Chain A
Amino acid sequence: MIDQLAESRNYLNDDYRFRSWLLTTDHKRIAIMYMISITLFFFVGGAAAVLFRLELMTPKGDLVLAETYNKLFTLHGVIMVWFFLIPSIPTVLGNFLLPLMIGARDLAFPKLNLLSWYIFMLGGAVTVWSIVAGGADTGWTFYTPYSSTYANTNVILMAVGVFISGFSSILTGLNFIVTTHTMRAPGMTWFRLPLFVWAHYATSVIFVLATPVLAITLFLIVLERGFGIGIFDPKLGGDPLLFQHLFWFYSHPAVYIMVLPSMGVVSEIIPCFARNRIFGYKFIAFSSLAIAVIGFLVWGHHMFVSGQSMYASMVFSFMSMLVAVPSAVKVFNWTATLYKGSISLETPMLYSLGFIGLFTLGGLTGLFLAALAVDVHVTDTYFVVAHFHYIMVGGAVMGYLGGLHFWWPKMTGRIYPEWWGRLSAGIIFFGFNLTFFPQFVLGYLGMPRRVHQYVDDFQVLNVMSSAGASILGVGYLLPLAYLIWSLRYGKRADPNPWHAKGLEWQTPSPPPKLNFTQTPIVTEEAYNYPPAPAPKKQAMS
């Protein structure tokens, strides 16, 4: 019977022609296309990391030239931020699941969705071109006046690539917001929505309101580089800090773009694998919105030592403390959801639990950085590097991997090999901590970031970090291998292998092209997990 299901028409086998993929407006297919794209970009950004972690194994700058090193970390930052992290969950899981979760046939603007992918690929192509042409060495932050006046690398090309990709973000965010407002199935009220949807709504608000500012900022850099006028050059009357204001006005909310969707994933996985209603649904929903809004009011904490006024710094410091509150609320609520639950530790759950721990560490260190006095000492050191990697890798990437595993059966109709999943999660967790925990210590001891050589005293910790990075690399390659393997050899999936709640599990795996044979009518609350003992999940190999 299951095989009959598999042969039935679904969005994957609906049309096998290549152009049916390239011209698709099906949100599910677009999600798959994004998934392949961001995976490729992830490995490009990762390759740069391999190179510079190799360099950092020895105190001397002996592997690459200083300028090359600068280009490597720039490449790593630009690709990982704009071509992996920011798109990852929203364009892969968000695109795939949002219409399913609200009971719709597609997003509000399917053609715009396809355009979004093409724009993303165009931006990626231009950025890769700038790398191949020699790269830029300004750091992903493009600080002026170096980037606008003095650098003699491919700044304009890279800035243009990122500029283009920004429009992809804006269109995705716009699509999600309009879809959530107008296309919910009958009975799907706002407070019955999965928290994944709330998280993506909040993320989309940031997409839509922050990204245009990035666009105009990069535009001004290109203008200044092209015409030599003094917008950001102090010699010509410009103010470099103004660039930083504009840049961080986008880039700080951008980090919430990177973490909010992960939180949405965790909010889906925890109740399922604890067989418990989520604790404090409305608190989590409103916290997502609060993070999005308050996240726009904290950007000056990146500029405490750049010449910003003391008064403004104090305001930003206070707001930065405030933004931690809704995040903490979520952590408490997820933990409370576990209480008296019937917990099982499948791969998605391992990633989610890992997320909670690592995100907490990352978030706490963020508070240390928000404190002006501490920040003066650790700013621009490896402390900051460790902090944001705990959130972005320990948090966002683990959330992405957890979500990928959780919804893999739905997206592909196949079950991945569970023991390989758990093993990889363990390797990643271990490798991640070995890579980045030493960096907290390094930063505290004073090792600056973005340097290719350092004082001998720092070598031991750097070697630990690089060793961790190689383990982490292996950890990332494993899912690539077994997930692809599962496409051919994995067990075929039921509609609901995890016995989870949510409309996406009420349709076959993989779903048919129009998602549901009949528009669902929602009558129960979200996360309506019964207090009964957990049913046996579909057997994992």
Chain B
Amino acid sequence: MHTNILSKATYYKVAVLLGILLAATVVVAQFDLGVLNTAIALTIAFAKAALIVLFFMHLRYSWPLLRLFAASGLIWLAIMITFVLADVLTRK
């Protein structure tokens, strides 16, 4: 159950990727793309989060139960947001 030992190089590569994504977020935000702004910003945020979770937090190399535990918070949050929006967006 002990995590694999990732190389330092992997960590540095992930960090560089994160930096590039950060730059992308900021650059895109300078332009007005309407709804796309939020969509792109959130997509990039999820990508950054995924990198951190999979590599820095070693979830890529973990046992399935751990990944389930990690996912459960997000899934439950999705339930909350979905159902609340289902109400808010369908009110007259």
Contacts and interface: CB of A to CB of B under 8 A. Distances in A.
A231 to B, nearest CB: 14
B79 A312 contact: no
Contact of B80 (A213, A308, A309): A213
B72 A209 contact: yes
A181 B65 contact: yes
Contacts of A181: 65
Interface string B70-92: 00110010011001101111111
Nearest to B89: A309
B2 to A, nearest CB: 15
A296 B72 CA distance: 13
Contact of A311 (B72, B76, B80, B86): B86
Contact of B84 (A242, A297, A307, A311): A242
A311 B87 CA distance: 7
Contacts of B86: 309, 311-312, 315
What's the dominant secondary structure at chain B's contact region?
helix
A477 B89 CA distance: 51
Nearest to B1: A182
A315 B83 CA distance: 9
Interface size class of A (residues with CB under 8 A): 10 to 19
Contacts of B89: 309
Contacts of B65: 181
Interface in B40-92: 65, 72-73, 76, 79-80, 83-84, 86-92
What's the dominant secondary structure at chain A's contact region?
helix
Contacts of A479: none
A305 to B, nearest CB: 13
A296 B88 CA distance: 18
Given A181-B65, A209-B72, A209-B73, A312 B90 contact: yes
A345 to B, nearest CB: 42
Contacts of A245: 83-84, 87
Interface string A282-326: 000000000000001101100000011111100110000000000
A478 interface: no
A316 B88 CA distance: 14
A249 interface: yes
Contacts of B92: 309
Nearest to A242: B84
A471 interface: no
29 contacts: A181-B65, A209-B72, A209-B73, A209-B76, A241-B87, A242-B84, A245-B83, A245-B84, A245-B87, A249-B84, A297-B79, A297-B83, A299-B83, A300-B83, A308-B87, A308-B91, A309-B86, A309-B87, A309-B88, A309-B89, A309-B90, A309-B92, A310-B90, A311-B86, A311-B90, A312-B87, A312-B90, A315-B83, A316-B83
Interface of B: 65, 72-73, 76, 79-80, 83-84, 86-92
Given A242-B84, A309-B91, 17 more contacts: A209-B72, A209-B73, A213-B80, A241-B87, A242-B88, A245-B87, A249-B80, A297-B79, A300-B83, A309-B87, A309-B88, A309-B89, A309-B90, A309-B92, A311-B86, A311-B90, A316-B83
Task: List the 7 closest A-B pairs by CB distance, nearest first.
Answer: A312-B87, A309-B90, A311-B90, A309-B91, A209-B76, A312-B86, A245-B84
